[in-house]
Amino acid sequence: MRGTDDASRRSTHRPGRSTARIPVYPRVPTGPLRLPSTSFAGRPRVPEDPGAAEATTTPHTLPRLVSADPALPPDAGSVPVEPVPPGPGDGDVRDDRDQDAGERERLRARAEHFSPEDEVLAAARERAAEHGIVPVGVGAAAALTFLAAAGRARAVVEIGTGAGVGTISLLRGMPREGLLTSIDTEVSHQRLTRVSCAEAGFGSGRVRMITGRALEVLPRLSDSAYDLVLVDAATVEYPLYLTEAIRLLRPGGVVVLDNVCWTGRVTDPARRDAISAALRETVRMVRTDERLAPLLLPLSDGLLCASLLG
């Protein structure tokens, strides 16, 4: 495994707090998770994900949106709205709603491509396609840059390096002294990302590549030491990545999970496969965890975000 830190860095350095040294990656055995015991009361919680299985329309709910563009994901769930006042006839009410749904779809398509990509990211996407890697979408990439910039993310973990689209997007938002730790099982993917990063003007000192299974690497990263964690690797493992990500984040830090709509399968109650089940469980965990402020961004294939309160 590459990129492990020596023992001398283990006890003193906390990424996100210092600008001079890289985050701790101690060679400690995997132990029980040390999750904060603090409870954040006062915010009402939803008991379950209505978007996971809601297929019917109620008087207070818009029907699920169906995209005219097959590349766009369907809505992650029904959209609560004010009750529609009675019109001259039922048909008029339904027409209003259809128009509203069309506007929402147009807005979503515009949001997806609001920040156009440059040639560097286009080249990284091409590299990904050549090697059968699915990178984060255009809208999701812009969101990653935004979130890294807004949070001044100095210490970032990326679970699933791929060919570097997510890596470059994150680095572009991070301050110059920031360090991104990127984990992937495939060293060949990490080599592609090195090429992509070099083309984007990011030297090797900005990214610490760790080759290995995420669930073996993550427990060795320090608690409460990271500003942002991007989850984009083995989808069936998302619930476990989320648990690890919460442990890694400092208060105010953000976890971002890509592909939570899984091209509409997550909201289809007929889908009983392991990936859909894992994603539904992940969404449920994010929505019900009182330590988190959740946000689902309808970009790309669904970008689920949560900030650690406290």
Ligand X SMILES: C[S@@+](CC[C@H](N)C(=O)[O-])C[C@H]1O[C@@H](n2cnc3c(N)ncnc32)[C@H](O)[C@@H]1O
Interaction of residue 128 with ligand X, rule CB under 6 A = yes
Interaction of residue 186 with ligand X, rule CB under 6 A = yes
Output the smallest distance, CB 277 to ligand X, in A. 17
Closest CA to 248 of 38, 15, 57, 28: 15
Taking the C-alpha atoms of residue 214 and residue 218, their distance in angstroms, rounded to an integer, is: 6
Within 144-163, the residues that bind ligand X by CB under 6 A are 160-163
Only segment of 8-16, 45-53, 178-186, 267-275 that touches ligand X (CB under 6 A): 178-186
Output the smallest distance, CB 56 to ligand X, in A. 33
> Of 232, 244, 289, 301, which one interacts with ligand X (CB under 6 A)?
232
Output the smallest distance, CB 137 to ligand X, in A. 9
Size of the chain, expressed as the number of residues it contains? 310
Is 68 exposed, middle or buried, given 0-12, 13-18 or 19+ CB atoms closer than 10 A? exposed
> Of 75, 105, 112, 184, which one interacts with ligand X (CB under 6 A)?
184
Output the smallest distance, CB 215 to ligand X, in A. 6
Taking the C-alpha atoms of residue 270 and residue 59, their distance in angstroms, rounded to an integer, is: 24
Burial 234-271 (b: 16+ CB within 10 A, else e): bbebbbebbebbbbbbbeebbbbbbbbbbebbbbbeeb
> What letter does residue 11 receive in the DSSP assignment?
T
Question: CB atoms < 10 A from the CB of 225, how many?
Answer: 20
Q: Which residue lies nearer to ligand X by CB, 184 or 289?
A: 184
Question: CB atoms < 10 A from the CB of 63, how many?
Answer: 17
Only segment of 28-36, 87-95, 134-142, 266-274 that touches ligand X (CB under 6 A): 134-142
Could you tell me how many residues of this chain bind ligand X (CB under 6 A)?
A: 22
Output the smallest distance, CB 140 to ligand X, in A. 8
Closest CA to 175 of 160, 191, 197, 153: 153
Indicate the helix (H) or strand (E) that contains 229: strand 226-231
Output the smallest distance, CB 3 to ligand X, in A. 13
Interaction of residue 166 with ligand X, rule CB under 6 A = yes
> Of 234, 236, 240, 309, which one interacts with ligand X (CB under 6 A)?
234
Q: Which residue lies nearer to ligand X by CB, 62 or 141?
A: 141
> Which spans of this chain sit near ligand X (rule: CB under 6 A)?
128, 133-136, 160-166, 183-186, 189, 213-214, 232-234
